[in-house]
């Protein structure tokens, strides 16, 4: 008899209607896997981009597919080759995006991708951290090598990634210039931004000059205009689309494109920052797992203030 669980998955690419809340087989563990009882899973733009088929050529995913790659929960089984964790450990993880995700009651993940969740956060808030925080870390720390005293311009600073990026940059001693809409002025200031630009009223390139780092989470026209504000030798880091190699050379600056990878060690470092009061996730809404369609609709609207989280289990 096959054991089953509740999950949200897709059987074909398309709109919200392809998300199905249904019974699926329990995940199978590899020797180096942990089985995690999912308490909460966060929603990210990559979820609906995969759902709509935008990344078919870039990823080795097979349908049907459980979506969701932001998880907080409890270890319930440890594979024979998995080290560092015990049954009962409360953990959080950004799993391998080419495997079934966390819109489910259980998920199997490699132990090396997992970290103990921040002790100061409940599962809903912990689930809001991994993908966004790793995106900020791998962009600002790994790619840009952001240092104390440098200035960074962070676009969409009130979003899931941007809100954590502001806090991470401040924790590293940088000066932060943040773009967002006026409704988020107070939030961005609370997060520690030194300068706020309401993008609906002011073109950021008219208000900003000679920054060391631009962190682009929007792409398109925003990315193209961002070249103008970099100082010589500065770097434009995007998580949306690769910045032009030719434009970077012409302007005497650097560029980087970041597609994040799972990393349990980095998540442990992020947990220490959170428990030390240096970072905190912002949640826009918490919805039941069965309402994943509504969560995707909110995410695609593009105006979420922080992260959207699916509650899976108490």
What are the DSSP calls for the chain, one per residue?
A: ---EEEEEEESSS-SGGGEEEEEEEPPPPPTTEEEEEEEEEEE-HHHHHHHTTTTTTT----SSEE----EEEEEEEE-TT--S--TT-EEEE---TTS--SSBSEEEEEGGGEEEPPTTS-HHHHHTSHHHHHHHHIIIIIIT---TT-EEEESSTTBHHHHHHHHHHHHTT-EEEEEE-GGGHHHHHHHT-SEEEETTTS-HHHH--SEEEEEESS-HHHHHHHGGGEEEEEEEEESSSPPPHHHHHHHT-EEEE------HHHHHHHHHHHHTTS----EEEEEEGGGHHHHHHHHHHT--SBEEEEE---
Q: What is the pLDDT of residues 187-207, one digit of tens each?
A: 999 999 999 999 999 999 999
pLDDT at 305: 83
Query: Is residue 267 in a domain?
Result: no
Mean pLDDT of 82-98: 97
Q: What is the pLDDT of residues 8-49, one digit of tens each?
A: 999 999 999 999 999 999 999 999 999 999 999 999 999 999
In a domain, 273, yes or no: no
Same domain, 142 and 59: no
What is the count of structural domains for the chain? Answer: 2
Please, what is the average pLDDT of the chain?
A: 96
Based on the fold, state whether residues 49 and 118 are members of the same structural domain.
yes
Residue 262 lies in a domain: no
What range does the domain containing 93 cover?
4-128+282-311
Q: Are residues 138 and 67 in the same domain?
A: no
The answer to whether residue 263 is domain-embedded is: no
Residues 117 and 137 grouped into a single domain: no
Question: Looking at the structure, do residues 94 and 137 belong to the same domain, yes or no?
Answer: no
Same structural domain, 197 and 252: yes
Domain check: are 117 and 142 in the same one?
Answer: no
Residues 299 and 248 in one domain: no
One domain, residues 109 and 201: no
Residue 276 falls within a domain, yes or no? no
Q: What is the pLDDT of residue 58?
A: 78
298 pLDDT above the threshold of 60: yes
Q: Is the pLDDT of residue 247 over 90?
A: yes
The reply to whether 288 and 175 lie within a common domain is no
In the chain, the percentage of residues whose pLDDT exceeds 90 is 93
Which residue did the predictor score with more confidence, 178 or 2?
178
Task: Indicate the pLDDT class of residue 1, thresholds 50, 70 and 90.
Answer: low
Report the CATH number that the domain containing residue 290 is assigned in CATH.
3.90.180.10
pLDDT for position 2: 66
CATH number, domain containing residue 237:
3.40.50.720
> Is 112 found in the same domain as 142?
no
pLDDT in the model for residue 56: 87
């Amino acid at each position: 008899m096959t054991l089953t669980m509740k999950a949200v998955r897709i059987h074909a690419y398309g709109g919200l209607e392809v998300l199905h809340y249904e019974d699926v087989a329990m995940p199978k563990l590899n020797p180096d896997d942990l089985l995690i009882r999912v308490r909460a899973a966060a929603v990210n733009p990559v979820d609906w981009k995969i759902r709509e088929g935008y990344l078919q050529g870039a990823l080795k995913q097979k349908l049907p597919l459980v979506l969701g790659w932001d998880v907080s929960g409890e270890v319930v089984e440890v594979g024979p080759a998995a080290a560092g964790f015990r049954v009962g450990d409360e953990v959080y993880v950004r799993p391998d995006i080419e495997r079934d995700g966390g819109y489910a009651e259980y998920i199997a993940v490699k132990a090396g991708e997992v970290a103990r969740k921040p002790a100061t956060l409940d599962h809903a808030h912990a689930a809001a951290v991994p993908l966004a925080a790793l995106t900020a870390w791998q962009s600002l720390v790994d790619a840009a090598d952001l240092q104390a005293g440098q200035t960074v311009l962070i676009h969409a600073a009130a979003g899931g990634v941007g809100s954590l990026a502001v806090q991470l940059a401040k924790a590293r001693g940088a000066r932060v210039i943040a773009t967002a809409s006026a409704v988020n002025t107070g939030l961005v200031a609370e997060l520690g931004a030194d300068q706020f630009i309401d993008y609906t009223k002011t073109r950021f390139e008219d208000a900003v000059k000679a920054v060391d780092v631009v962190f682009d989470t929007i792409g398109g026209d925003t990315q193209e205009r961002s070249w103008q504000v970099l100082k010589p030798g500065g770097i434009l880091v995007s998580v949306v689309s690769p910045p032009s190699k030719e434009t970077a050379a012409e302007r005497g600056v650097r560029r980087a494109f970041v597609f994040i990878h799972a990393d349990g060690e980095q998540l442990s470092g992020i947990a220490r920052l959170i428990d030390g009061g240096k970072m905190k996730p912002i949640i826009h809404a918490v919805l039941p797992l069965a309402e994943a369609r509504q969560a995707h609709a909110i995410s695609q609207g593009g105006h979420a203030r922080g992260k959207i989280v699916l509650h899976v289990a108490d």
